[in-house]
Amino acid sequence: MVHQIMDISFELKYCLFFILFASTPSAQKFMTFECESPVRGIFNEDTIIPCSLKTTGERTFTNIKLTKDNKSLFTYNTRGDSKKLQGQIELRRLDDANVSLIIQRTKLSNGGMYHCIIQTDQGHDSADIELVFKAPYSLPNMTLLENTEESISCETMGYPPAQIHWMVNGERNLTDISRTDKENTTEGLVKITSKLPINLSKSSQDDTYTCSVWNEAEGRIEVKKSLSISYLVNSSTKQQINEKKKKVLTAVYVIIGGLLSGILILALFQLRKKYSSGQQHEPEYTPPVQI
């Protein structure tokens, strides 16, 4: 009886093993497809999605497909007339070991999760890729504002959202007294403008103010700029002088344009008057009298 139970148990194990073996996808038995993730995409630059393929022997590629949010972005069939460039997606490499796709001129909308499926005559496999979008922040533009209240303005643009930190002489942190505004551009980037109130009469001309762009995600300063009060004052004075010159030139052009227009109108008026006067003094035609 015990011997019969052992035989049944052995047969059951054999059946279970056969079922599990038969149900295992062929892609897992013969090939492994892996892609690097996450991938960082830089604004307006081409982003490479590198993938690797491992197989147990020789095989032939048949199809590769890239989707995002369940929407097909790229489909390439080696046995058809598929194009290697479809929209923003380009097939860069397809060989024995590497499969690489390129997203051309990466935009904010390209960020997110992608799903890549590859198929060969040995089976198929797939991989998920996360693309993280980034636009490096521009070097801050610092100016001195003296319209309503004295303040220093710092302006920069990039992505993802960041913070502006203020320092004076590399010692005192003045971020808490600044006012920062953020707005999205048409390209999806973030434009940051921060204003730091100062008192020129009490500030030393040698004081140096630093505007730093703090990357929240990476916990580091991405870019910064430092300028002295004397430089900001001189730059502001030069800017005001240039603006006054532009206004004077604009006024001169307007005056000259007005004078020329007036002279032209007067000349046309005189010409018309002369022409009308000539018509009034011209003798009327009298036909000859026939006898």
User: What is the tens place of the pLDDT at every residue in 19-53?
Assistant: 444 444 444 456 889 999 999 999 999 999 999 88
Q: Which two tokens stand for residue 77?
A: 């069939």
- Residue ending a domain, among 228, 255, 280, is 228
Examine residue 180 and state whether it is found in any structural domain, yes or no. Answer: yes
CA neighbor of 38 nearest in space, from 161, 157, 129: 129
Q: Which residue has the tokens 């011997």?
A: 3
Number of domains in the chain: 2
Instruction: Specify whether 32 is located in the same domain as 124.
Output: yes
Instruction: Specify whether 127 is located in the same domain as 59.
Output: yes
Range of the domain at 206: 141-228
Examine residue 166 and state whether it is found in any structural domain, yes or no. Answer: yes
- Residue ending a domain, among 134, 163, 187, is 134
Examine residue 3 and state whether it is found in any structural domain, yes or no. Answer: no
Can you give the pLDDT at residue 252? 58
Q: Which residue has the tokens 């008026």?
A: 269
Instruction: Specify whether 194 is located in the same domain as 157.
Output: yes
Q: Omega before 283 cis (within 30°)?
A: no
Instruction: Specify whether 65 is located in the same domain as 90.
Output: yes
- Residue ending a domain, among 134, 165, 197, is 134
- The arithmetic mean of pLDDT across residues 114-131, rounded, is 92
- The arithmetic mean of pLDDT across residues 75-88, rounded, is 91
Can you give the pLDDT at residue 77? 92
Three-class DSSP category at 17: helix
Indicate if the pLDDT at residue 249 is higher than 60: no
Examine residue 280 and state whether it is found in any structural domain, yes or no. Answer: no
Angle at the Cα of 17 (from 16 to 20), degrees rounded to 5?
Answer: 85
What is the β-pairing status of strands 123-134 and 39-42?
parallel
Instruction: Specify whether 109 is located in the same domain as 146.
Output: no
Predicted confidence band of residue 283 (pLDDT cuts 50, 70, 90): low
Question: Most confidently modeled of 90-99, 256-265, 278-287?
Answer: 90-99
Q: How far apart are CA 57 and CA 123, in angstroms?
A: 12
Predicted confidence band of residue 277 (pLDDT cuts 50, 70, 90): low
Q: How far apart are CA 120 and CA 82, in angstroms?
A: 16
Q: How far apart are CA 107 and CA 57, in angstroms?
A: 39
212 CB burial (10 A radius; 0-12, 13-18, 19+)? buried
Predicted confidence band of residue 128 (pLDDT cuts 50, 70, 90): very high
Can you give the pLDDT at residue 27? 40
Distance (Å) of CA 1 to CA 8, 9, 14 = 11, 12, 20
- The arithmetic mean of pLDDT across residues 62-87, rounded, is 92
Angle at the Cα of 62 (from 57 to 66), degrees rounded to 5?
Answer: 110
pLDDT more than 70, % of the chain: 76
Indicate if the pLDDT at residue 16 is higher than 60: no
Indicate if the pLDDT at residue 266 is higher than 80: no
Phi, psi of 35 (to 5 degrees): -125, 145
Instruction: Specify whether 128 is located in the same domain as 155.
Output: no
Q: What is the CATH number of the domain that holds 109?
A: 2.60.40.10
For all residues of the chain together, what is the average pLDDT? 81
Examine residue 4 and state whether it is found in any structural domain, yes or no. Answer: no
The alpha carbon torsion through 157, 224, 200, 171 (nearest 10 deg) reads 140
Can you give the pLDDT at residue 19? 45
Instruction: Specify whether 39 is located in the same domain as 119.
Output: yes
What does the pLDDT look like over 190-232, one tens digit per residue? 999 999 999 887 778 888 999 999 998 889 999 999 999 888 8
Three-class DSSP category at 203: coil
Examine residue 2 and state whether it is found in any structural domain, yes or no. Answer: no
Residue 225 has, within 13 A of its CA and on its CB side, a CA count of 16
